[in-house]
Amino acid sequence: MGENINQNGMNLETFPFNGGGPGESSGGGATDVRLENGTWNDFNSLKSRIMVAAGGGGGAYKEHIDTSKKYVRGDGGTLIGIDAEFYFNNDNGGYSYSGHGATQTSGGEPGERFNDNDIDPQKTPEMTGTFGMGGYGIYQSKEYEAVYSSSGGGGGYYGGGHCNHPGNSWTGGGGGSSFISGYPGCKAIDENSTEGNISHLETSEHYSGKVFIDTVMKAGNEEMPTHDGLSTMTGNTGNGFAKITYIGAS
């Protein structure tokens, strides 16, 4: 059996489980509920997802003069993933080099590149966020042996965009987007979609007809219950967690 290679020449086995973009700091993978078995990146299996909790983008930890701003990665989002922030020499320099959050119908855009003239396009595997996968970028210099790696986007319904690292800076990948069948504002995938031609419906209801009721979405920067239900936390760190409680037949 050959390697699992995508269209950009990247070995998908280097991805964190369930779609976090690889890189200097990898994006977090999504947590989801599927109707069809298969490897995490199998398109038909991805298409069968009826609930997806997004992962956050990869990013650096940096103490900042504003102590409320320490992490630069973009958190996993609800309908839209959260953009990462960008710090340069301890100053807030905007978002230009950091990855952007995904939406219901598209992956997050990457941050701006630095010094395009120095990049060897033949040695630069790169992908924007896409359906089920966070983006990544690994840039090889034309003149030097230097490799400029980036932090990956978070996995999700759609994956977040990767960042770029322009020298003495701290940047992060954008967060993925989430999906719940039946949740207002979600865009369900068309059952006839293929990996090369994805389209979405105006409805939030998955083509399987299975929908959830009384749903709540929380982004990774919001307060939510802990796994044991005894307290609260702001987002989740480490491995994802899914808790299913049977409440009886309807």
Query: Is residue 174 a contact partner of residue 153, using CB atoms and an 8 Å limit?
Result: yes
Three-state secondary structure call for residue 13 = helix
What integer pLDDT is reported at residue 3 of this predicted model?
46
C-alpha 219/C-alpha 165 separation (Å) is 25
Count of structural domains, the chain: 1
If you search the block for the tokens 């998955």, which residue do you land on?
206
- Which has the closest alpha carbon to 130: 212, 238, 30, 3? 30
User: Which of residues 112 and 225 earns the better pLDDT score?
Assistant: 225
| Mean pLDDT (the chain, rounded) | 83
Cα 22 → chain centroid: 11
Q: Percent of the chain beyond pLDDT 90?
A: 51
Residue (of 3, 1, 8) closest to 133 by Cα position: 8
Which residue type, as a one-letter code, is found at position 69? K
Bin 96: left if φ > 0, else alpha if -120 < ψ < 50, else beta.
Answer: alpha
Assign 211 a pLDDT band (cuts: 50, 70, 90): very high
pLDDT at 89: 52
Query: Can you give the pLDDT at residue 2?
Result: 37
- H/E element, 46: helix 43-47
Q: Indicate the pTM of the whole model.
A: 0.86
pLDDT at 25: 83
**Contact (Cβ atoms closer than 8 angstroms) between residue 170 and residue 164:** no
105's tokens: 């119908």
What burial letters (b/e) apply to 6-31, b meaning 16+ CB within 10 Å? Answer: eeeebeeeebbebbbbbbbbbbbbbb
Q: Is it the case that residue 181 has pLDDT exceeding 90?
A: yes
Interval 32-57 mean pLDDT:
96
Cβ-contact 186, 104 below 8 angstroms: yes
Residue 1 scores a pLDDT above 50: no
Tokens at residue 138, please? Answer: 């690994």
For the chain, the residue count is 250
What residue numbers bound the domain in which 105 lies?
1-250
